[in-house]
């Protein structure tokens, strides 16, 4: 399944899952609405009609009492009208209530007009109104009152039952909606986690691969299969193709630079050889001007030879072919030799030079002394080059957990902070070259870094512009002479904090 299809499916499932609680709530609210409508159309309507019926029955009782006093056709007709009004309300109750008492009520009210006529005729015949009322209309009204009370009780019970049912339905709707919401959120969370992992996992694998390439490992192991049928499978294939091509290009570049720098050494040496022969007068005497010109040419030729040698060195190390030959080295002798070598330069430039050795430094280490001499010579030469008269250069050595910590400090021009991450790159030269006594090739620090890392050590630079620079090396006291490979050139020791 492609990534797009996976995302679409996941989002669709989440939408459906979240829609289920809404449908459940809508169904329960629909049932509740139906029950409220039924309550309105039956018990509530019957209750209103029952109230009006009571009013009508009260009117009947008043008209019947007035008939016994006035004894006119008008009052008699008003009594009949009141009875008919009560019959109408009774019909409404019968239509709204299924109680059998409602039908009894209608039957009783249907008989009352005839009773009203008999009572009126008896009163007109001279009978006592109270006696006639007690014998004819009184029992009927009393019976109707009993039926009304029974209907009222029945309506109240039915209404209470419907209200309880509505409350139960509402409570059920709340519980169902809450449960459905919890289930929906749980399912949505599971699907979201699945989608996140299915995307973040391959992305993290690609990120690790890109970071390895950026760190110089041009053919890293990618924890992502090219057999995947989604976009990540195609990305993995493209990444492996890209890294393989980069490795091939890096190898070709290293081979080209190595061959070119190696081939340059022969004509340069020939040129320097003939220059030496000319300076010795083999080809005849030289004038003072010619001697001066030849000296300049010889100086530039030696610079070119040194540049070719540096290029060859750094290329060999980058390609994994840079060898080191560790052997026992008396550390005190190495430091004394460095101190003697740079003492003259310190005197010439008017710079204070000091070598300090802390207690606990091993007497003997296992290093490639020629390579380490090259590193230390380069760092000290840079320190003197950027430190003016009256400044200070210090070489300090101290022990550090089966390693030797070496620091080269100066009070020179310093390096701008934004340029510090680049000073170990080939051909990079900081903006402080104006303070240098001579310009370099930009390869010395790159070679130094490769030599230090070939010893399984680390090198770093700390600098403050205008105040000075400190190079810190951390070298194991015992070094394995194995050669590094081009795809695994990583520092084994962390940078010194």
3-state secondary structure of 469: strand
In this predicted structure, the answer to whether residue 490 has a pLDDT above a threshold of 60 is no
397-434, pLDDT tens digit by residue? 999 888 999 999 999 888 888 888 888 887 677 655 54
Residue 351: alpha-carbon gap to chain centroid? 54
Given 318, 336, 351, the domain boundary residue is 318
- Res 361 pLDDT > 50: yes
Assess whether pLDDT exceeds 80 at residue 389.
yes
Segment 120-150, tens digit of pLDDT: 888 888 888 888 888 888 888 888 888 888 8
pLDDT exceeds cutoff 60 at 224: yes
Is residue 110 situated within a structural domain? yes
Taking the CA atoms of residue 34, residue 36, residue 42 and residue 44 in that order, the dihedral angle to the nearest 10 degrees is -170
Which has the closest alpha carbon to 271: 307, 302, 312? 302
Whether residue 176 sits in one domain with residue 37: yes
- Look at residues 175, 190, 205 and tell me which one is the last residue of a structural domain: 190
At residue 474, the pLDDT reads: 94
- pLDDT of amino acid 67: 83
Specify burial of residue 306 (Cβ count, 10 A radius: 0-12, 13-18, 19+). Answer: middle
Contact 111, 87 (CB under 8 A): no
Q: What are 73's two structure tokens?
A: 């056709």
Quote the DSSP letter at residue 142: H
Q: Does the pLDDT of residue 174 top 70, yes or no?
A: yes
For residue 123, being part of any structural domain is answered with yes
Residues 291 and 434 in one domain: no
Residue 213 vs residue 238, higher pLDDT: 238
Q: Does residue 273 carry a pLDDT above 90?
A: no
Q: Identify the CATH number of the domain in which residue 86 sits.
A: 1.20.120.1730
Lowest mean pLDDT among 213-227, 256-270, 362-376: 256-270
Percent of the chain past pLDDT 90, that is, above it, reads 13
Q: Is residue 196 part of a domain?
A: no
Amino acid 304: pLDDT: 77
Integer Cα distance of 79 and 223 in angstroms: 101
Residue 445: both structure tokens together:
């620090």
Query: Within this chain, do residues 163 and 260 fall inside the same structural domain, yes or no?
Result: no
Q: Residues 153, 13: one domain? A: yes
* Predicted local distance difference test score (pLDDT) of residue 437: 46
The answer to which of 72-76, 153-157, 176-180, 481-485 has the lowest mean pLDDT is: 481-485
Rounded-to-integer distance, Cα 78 and Cα 84, Å: 10
CATH number for position 415: 3.30.565.10
Per the rule left: phi > 0, alpha: psi between -120 and 50, beta: everything else, 281 is left
Residue 73 region by backbone torsions, left for phi larger than 0, else alpha for psi between -120 and 50, else beta: alpha
Q: Are residues 156 and 23 in the same domain?
A: yes
Is 226 a member of any domain? no
Q: Do 55 and 184 sit in the same domain of this protein?
A: yes
Domain that holds residue 34: 3-190
Average pLDDT over residues 111-120: 87
How does pLDDT run across 296-312, given as a tens digit for each residue?
Answer: 888 788 777 767 766 66
Residue 160 burial (CB count, 10 A): 11
**Is residue 319 scored above 70 in pLDDT?**
no
Asked whether the beta carbons of 336 and 357 are under 8 A apart, the reply is no
Q: Could you tell me if residue 230 is inside a domain?
A: no
- Counting residues of the chain whose pLDDT is more than 70, the rounded percentage is 87
Asked if residue 311 and residue 332 are part of one domain, the reply reads no
144 with 186, same domain: the answer is yes
277 inside domain:
yes
In this structure, are 262 and 384 located in the same domain? no
Asked, for residue 223, whether it belongs to a domain, the answer is no
- 287 contact partners, CB below 8 Å, separation of at least 6: none
Average pLDDT, the chain: 80
- The pTM of this model reads 0.44
Question: What pLDDT shows up at residue 483?
Answer: 45
Question: Which one of 318, 340, 360 terminates a domain?
Answer: 318
Say yes or no: 408 and 472 in one domain. Answer: yes
485 belongs to a structural domain = no
CA distance 68 to 59: 14
* pLDDT of 435: 45
Q: Kindly state whether residues 300 and 343 are assigned to the same domain.
A: no
How confident is the model at residue 314, as a pLDDT? Answer: 64
Taking alpha carbons only, the member of 299, 496, 302, 463 closest to residue 383 is 463
Residues 341 and 290 in one domain: no
Considering its fold, how many domains does the chain have in total? 3
pLDDT band at 491 (very low <50, low <70, confident <90, very high): very low
d(CA 475, CA 397) in angstroms, rounded, equals 11
Distance CA 300, CA 295 (A): 9
Q: Distance between CA 111 and CA 248 in Å, rounded?
A: 116
Q: Give pLDDT tens digits for 239-250.
A: 888 888 887 877
For the chain, the C-alpha Rg in angstroms (whole number) is 55
């Amino acid at each position: 399944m492609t990534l797009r299809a996976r995302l679409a499916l996941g989002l669709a499932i989440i939408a459906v899952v979240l829609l289920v609680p809404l449908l459940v709530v809508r169904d329960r609210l629909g049932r509740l609405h139906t029950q409220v409508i039924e309550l309105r159309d039956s018990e509530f309507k019957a209750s209103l009609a029952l109230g009006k019926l009571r009013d009508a029955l009260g009117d009947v009782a008043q008209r019947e009492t007035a008939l016994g006093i006035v004894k006119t056709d008008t009052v008699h007709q008003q009594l009949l009208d009141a009875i008919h009004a009560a019959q109408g309300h009774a019909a409404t109750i019968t239509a709204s209530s299924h109680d059998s008492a409602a039908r009894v009520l209608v039957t009783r009210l249907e008989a009352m007009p005839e009773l009203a006529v008999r009572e009126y005729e008896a009163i007109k015949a001279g009978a006592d109104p109270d006696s006639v009322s007690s014998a004819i209309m009184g029992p009927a009204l009393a019976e109707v009152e009993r039926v009304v009370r029974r209907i009222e009780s029945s309506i109240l019970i039915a209404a209470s039952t419907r209200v309880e049912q509505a409350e139960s339905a509402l409570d059920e709707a709340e519980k169902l909606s809450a449960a459905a919401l919890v289930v929906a959120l749980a399912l949505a969370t599971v699907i979201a986690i699945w989608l996140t992992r299915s995307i973040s996992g391959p992305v993290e694998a690609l990120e690790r691969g890109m970071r390895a390439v950026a760190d110089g490992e041009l053919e890293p192991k990618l924890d992502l299969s090219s057999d995947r049928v989604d976009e990540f499978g195609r990305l993995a294939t493209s990444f492996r193709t890209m890294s393989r091509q980069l490795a091939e290009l890096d190898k070709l570049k290293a081979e080209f630079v190595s061959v070119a720098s190696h081939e340059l050494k022969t004509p340069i040496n020939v040129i320097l050889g003939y220059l030496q022969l000319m300076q010795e007068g083999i080809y005849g005497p030289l004038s003072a001007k010619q001697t001066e010109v030849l000296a300049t040419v010889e100086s530039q030729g030696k610079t070119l030879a040194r540049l070719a040698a540096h290029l060859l060195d750094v290329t060999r190390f980058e390609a994994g072919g840079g060898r080191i030959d560790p052997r026992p080295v008396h550390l005190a002798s190495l430091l004394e030799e460095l101190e003697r070598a740079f003492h003259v330069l310190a005197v010439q430039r008017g710079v204070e030079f000091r070598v300090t050795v802390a207690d606990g430094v091993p007497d003997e280490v296992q290093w490639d002394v020629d390579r380490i001499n090259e590193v230390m010579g380069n760092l000290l030469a840079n320190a003197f080059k950027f430190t003016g008269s009256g400044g200070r250069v210090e070489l300090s050595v101290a022990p550090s957990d089966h390693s030797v910590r070496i620091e080269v400090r100066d009070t020179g021009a310093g390096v701008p902070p934004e340029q510090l991450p680049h000073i170990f790159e080939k051909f990079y030269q900081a903006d402080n070259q104006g303070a240098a006594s001579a310009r370099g090739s930009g390869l010395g620090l790159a070679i130094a870094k490769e030599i230090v890392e070939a010893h399984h050590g680390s090198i770093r630079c700390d600098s403050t512009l205008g105040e000075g620079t400190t190079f810190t090396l951390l070298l194991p006291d015992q070094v394995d002479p194995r050669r590094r490979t081009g795809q695994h050139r990583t520092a084994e020791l962390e940078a010194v904090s």
